[in-house]
Structure 1
């Protein structure tokens, strides 16, 4: 048996300035895909293609947050969170991605923001969480350099509309994921696997980031700006030299394709030559505009193997002795601590953990409760690892759980449940899980619930000392 290691009580007291929050994204929870003037995104079309998404699931209804946002804000208020990080649906507010704005879509976010503020919850806006308007994709999307201007215009619309009430803005969520999976591997929308497409997309996303920063600085002078990166150690999946080289190469795409140019005005060596044909004078200065914080999404380290794809590397299996989640992700809190310290050393910025969490096979028991002890164990271990990083000097100022709700998890559809709140999708009933109560207790500084011993062979096994 492996005992869950209980670290000392978190020393971050309520009202200490540390931000406790939850995160979601527009396509994954809003639903209402065909009403009030919303246009199609690339994910709407991708979901309609047979075999792309598990069980043929779509985001058409998702969690129906568009209609149930008041109920969801009430759940957040009950948790006692400080902040809610959500994304704007670009095709909801600009159905064609540019041109005429959709007042009904803009008004939805007015209602959401006002409800959050009335509940004492700070809204954090992420401008892009993967749902590119289909109309822009048909014009080349992230492969078209003009998209930097389109994104700047979209940013200006959002800044003008909400900048009087919103201070925190992130430009992009996990650009390394949606570019590599969508344009390199072909695993996500829009389903392209091409080296030139990947490198164009990387550069044009970076340009769009820089252009959006300029717009936000001018339009919302009081704003606190950042970008959200998925970043973690990349280890060789095997002992051979090919896997070791693949891991180093993969890390430049995964960890450095966006933070490196955004902070240091240059691409890492593996990308520099490939992206050079798409650069123009002045690009790097625009990309490296100043930001106020580093957003980190972290779930697991990667174990990488050589593969004959567009970048010569892909995901391998973790070592057999590493505990895993129910979806097979390795559970290694030490990698989280190390990532926080690495970001602190490299970039010297305040860090907000904008996503961390785990999926579980959650179902209500006979009494209607969801006792997700594995998620509690995971969150305890990872928040302890965060505290260790803070004690070692990392300037971490906030932590957001992914996610508030069980939701549409991209190509996994509705099979993976990451939420603190269980969603019965046929009825849309919300049931706060045991982990929601645990998180509320952590936030308020009360004694955290005890966690039972869990077998190392269990899919939910975890140890905070790895």
Structure 2
């Protein structure tokens, strides 16, 4: 399949995916809201992490971000004008529970009530992610995801959100990409809270797995007619060669990156037979945990951007596998140094369809960062346009082949704070001038607007 198709060659229509197919955009609280210490909100691990020199590209931070908190109506109205009918956003834990537990911040509750109500007024369905990486710093000071007490902290937080918002919010995601926030935050240390090592990583894995199911059970109990899901980062893993060592390395990488959190939720346990280091999680498993890791989700969200090519490496501990950077493979890449490889989303849909316990799959994130150039009030982002169109062709191919796929959310609506990379990579359908907060719909956004208009 050519990855350099002319955008004008794209013939698919939104209506071809079926009238019940869900189209939307995804965001996250810390990446867009700003107002990091306004109206009772306290410090999250990302508020703390960005302050340390060297953690974030050019010293960027999310203290102001896209100023969504101050002017959420502007973006929701812009969404409406672009025919976007589903908006995925997350709740900032520290905005509603400044101490992580205990006293409720009514100002934070009121903010999300206003966002939810305005979405509904505009004919946009809210999809809420409960945890998108911004753990209260007060809880991190007690060990965060490495402390088993987080099971109770998280349960109380989810119960609060369910009780306060569940009368209007019916679409929920419990965790966003647990492999990323545990791996990057508690093993590699490149994301908040910046902790490193296997002794941090393994308990964080287990407690996140437990909370994934706990959140689902709370929502099932508290929210009438809830559609409950959770989301996973996933990448097609390809061995660098046909050598046995490279094939085994790729299998281990796939186990870690694509199987680690979905299989326990389905009652399959941790895939430790294929990655021996995971057997060390056993020391954190208490009686009843294996049963309580299981939850029957209504849907699974998959978040795919690229594929990874993996080769054997003696120097990488535990995994004995190394990802070969895309820029070293002479392939087309995004600003994130991710290969542009549309078939990867088809392969991930195929992989997750192979699990019998999964009822429905939604692509809850897909998108790309390229070097956007603004000329007056125009941003002509043809590379992003081509990327989205070619990935959507693969989603349609999956649907045509009988794979379960029921929706597609673009990452992301507006340019935003992109974690350790700061504001350098722009993923948005809408360009933001961060000096003035002016919004400009990019060529890709105009295409998506027209694409969705034909679905009405």
Normalising to structure 2: TM-score of the pair? 0.94
1:240 to partner: Cα distance: 5.5
8 Å Cα contact 2:47-2:62 kept in structure 1:
yes
For residue 282 of structure 2, what is the aligned residue in structure 1?
A: 276
* Alpha-carbon distance change, 34 to 11 in structure 1, aligned in 2, over 3 angstroms: closer
* Alpha-carbon distance change, 103 to 255 in structure 1, aligned in 2, over 3 angstroms: same
* Alpha-carbon distance change, 311 to 93 in structure 1, aligned in 2, over 3 angstroms: farther
Task: Report the Cα distance in structure 2 between the residues aligned to 1:438 and 1:135, rounded to whole angstroms.
Answer: 44
For residue 155 of structure 1, what is the aligned residue in structure 2?
A: 158
Q: Which blocks of at least 5 consecutive residues in structure 1 are unaligned?
A: 447-466
1:198 to partner: Cα distance: 0.6
1:310 to partner: Cα distance: 5.5
8 Å Cα contact 1:27-1:89 kept in structure 2:
yes
Q: From 180, 184, 205, give the equivalent of 1:181.
A: 184
SS where residue 264 of structure 1 aligns? coil
Q: From 388, 391, 412, give the equivalent of 2:400.
A: 391
For residue 166 of structure 1, what is the aligned residue in structure 2?
A: 169
Single out whichever of 13-22 and 234-243 deviates more from structure 2: 234-243
SS where residue 396 of structure 1 aligns? coil
Deviations 1:175-228 (A, max 9, x none): 011111111111111112211211100000011111111111110131010110
8 Å Cα contact 1:210-1:286 kept in structure 2:
yes
1:390 to partner: Cα distance: 0.3
8 Å Cα contact 1:237-1:317 kept in structure 2:
no
1:242 to partner: Cα distance: 4.4
Q: From 290, 297, 316, give the equivalent of 1:291.
A: 297
For residue 302 of structure 1, what is the aligned residue in structure 2?
A: 308
8 Å Cα contact 1:27-1:131 kept in structure 2:
yes
For residue 254 of structure 1, what is the aligned residue in structure 2?
A: 257
Alignment of 1:5-404 (within 5 A): 6=9, 8-10=11-13, 12-13=15-16, 16-237=19-240, 241-269=244-272, 270=275, 272-305=278-311, 306=313, 307-309=315-317, 311-318=319-326, 320-347=329-356, 348-365=358-375, 367-404=376-413
Q: From 430, 435, 438, give the equivalent of 1:426.
A: 435
8 Å Cα contact 1:265-1:287 kept in structure 2:
no
Q: Which blocks of at least 5 consecutive residues in structure 2 are unaligned?
A: none
Q: Do residues 440 (structure 1) and 449 (structure 2) align?
A: yes
1:437 to partner: Cα distance: 0.7
Single out whichever of 118-127 and 247-256 deviates more from structure 2: 247-256
* Alpha-carbon distance change, 146 to 4 in structure 1, aligned in 2, over 3 angstroms: same
8 Å Cα contact 1:123-1:168 kept in structure 2:
yes
SS where residue 62 of structure 1 aligns? coil
Task: Report the Cα distance in structure 1 between the residues aligned to 2:323 and 2:32, rounded to whole angstroms.
Answer: 28
Task: Report the Cα distance in structure 2 between the residues aligned to 1:427 and 1:11, rounded to whole angstroms.
Answer: 34
Task: Report the Cα distance in structure 1 between the residues aligned to 2:203 and 2:67, rounded to whole angstroms.
Answer: 35
1:308 to partner: Cα distance: 2.5
Normalising to structure 1: TM-score of the pair? 0.92
1:13 to partner: Cα distance: 4.7
For residue 410 of structure 1, what is the aligned residue in structure 2?
A: 419
For residue 453 of structure 1, what is the aligned residue in structure 2?
A: none
SS where residue 170 of structure 1 aligns? strand
1:336 to partner: Cα distance: 0.9
8 Å Cα contact 2:83-2:453 kept in structure 1:
yes
Task: Report the Cα distance in structure 2 between the residues aligned to 1:12 and 1:274, rounded to whole angstroms.
Answer: 49
Task: Report the Cα distance in structure 1 between the residues aligned to 2:18 and 2:123, rounded to whole angstroms.
Answer: 13
Task: Report the Cα distance in structure 1 between the residues aligned to 2:248 and 2:182, rounded to whole angstroms.
Answer: 22
Task: Report the Cα distance in structure 2 between the residues aligned to 1:331 and 1:385, rounded to whole angstroms.
Answer: 13
1:272 to partner: Cα distance: 4.4
Task: Report the Cα distance in structure 2 between the residues aligned to 1:101 and 1:161, rounded to whole angstroms.
Answer: 11
* Alpha-carbon distance change, 352 to 14 in structure 1, aligned in 2, over 3 angstroms: closer
Task: Report the Cα distance in structure 1 between the residues aligned to 2:90 and 2:241, rounded to whole angstroms.
Answer: 38
1:440 to partner: Cα distance: 1.1
For residue 4 of structure 1, what is the aligned residue in structure 2?
A: 6
8 Å Cα contact 1:14-1:445 kept in structure 2:
no
1:277 to partner: Cα distance: 0.6
Give the length in aligned residue pairs: 446
1:341 to partner: Cα distance: 1.6
8 Å Cα contact 1:194-1:310 kept in structure 2:
no
Single out whichever of 329-338 and 164-173 deviates more from structure 2: 329-338
8 Å Cα contact 1:14-1:444 kept in structure 2:
no
SS where residue 15 of structure 2 aligns? coil
Task: Report the Cα distance in structure 2 between the residues aligned to 1:206 and 1:432, rounded to whole angstroms.
Answer: 38
Task: Report the Cα distance in structure 1 between the residues aligned to 2:61 and 2:91, rounded to whole angstroms.
Answer: 18
Task: Report the Cα distance in structure 1 between the residues aligned to 2:169 and 2:17, rounded to whole angstroms.
Answer: 22
1:235 to partner: Cα distance: 2.0
SS where residue 69 of structure 2 aligns? helix
